[in-house]
Amino acid sequence: MAGFDKERVNSILNSILEQELAGVVRYTHYSFLVFGHGRIPIVSWLREQATESLLHAHQAGEMITHLGAYPSLGIGPLLDRHQGSVDAILRESLVTESKALKLYHALLEAVAGHSVMLEEYARQMIFAEEMHAGEVEKMLRRQGSIVEDLPPEGK
């Protein structure tokens, strides 16, 4: 398992852990703020995302202890711009999820060619996060639009 910068990898993994834990809190929080006709499926989707973020946090924590390091007790930044619309929630989630995706890419770069296990883990997470981002982008499209049609920021 030698050959990669263990300290750097642990630091990336801890950032991932914190970012995913922030996701748990953020999605749970968002799920309280959805009203109107679409409430039930949207609330349940947001809570599924909270559960998935918790699973991702567990996976990152397990990787940290696998490497003999100590998992952070911290939590990533929690944005709350008090924007209640579902579009705003989804756009905010795209921004924060892209930070997690960058961390998984950084992990892949740090371990590439040195650890099949960590490489495989990073690749699987990149796959999961990119699929997730794609799903959110589809939710932000307008009906009848096949391409990304994000409304301008602030609307």
Q: Which residue is nearest to Fe ion (CB)?
A: 56
Which range touches Fe ion (CB under 5 A), out of 55-63, 72-80, 87-95, 102-110?
55-63
Phi, psi at 30, each rounded to 5°: -55, -40
26 binds Fe ion (CB under 5 A): no
Residues 118-137 that bind Fe ion (CB under 5 A): none
- Contact between 91 and Fe ion per CB under 5 A: no
Tell me how far, at minimum, the Cβ of 56 lies from Fe ion, in Å. 4
> Which C-beta is closer to Fe ion: that of 26 or that of 56?
56
Residue placing its CB nearer to Fe ion in the complex, 56 or 91 = 56
Taking Cα atoms as reference points, which of 20, 10, 98 lies closest to residue 58? 20
Q: How many CA atoms lie within 13 A of 83 on its CB side?
A: 14
How far, in Å, are 16, 122, 127, 132, 144 from residue 105 at the CA level? 11, 7, 11, 15, 33
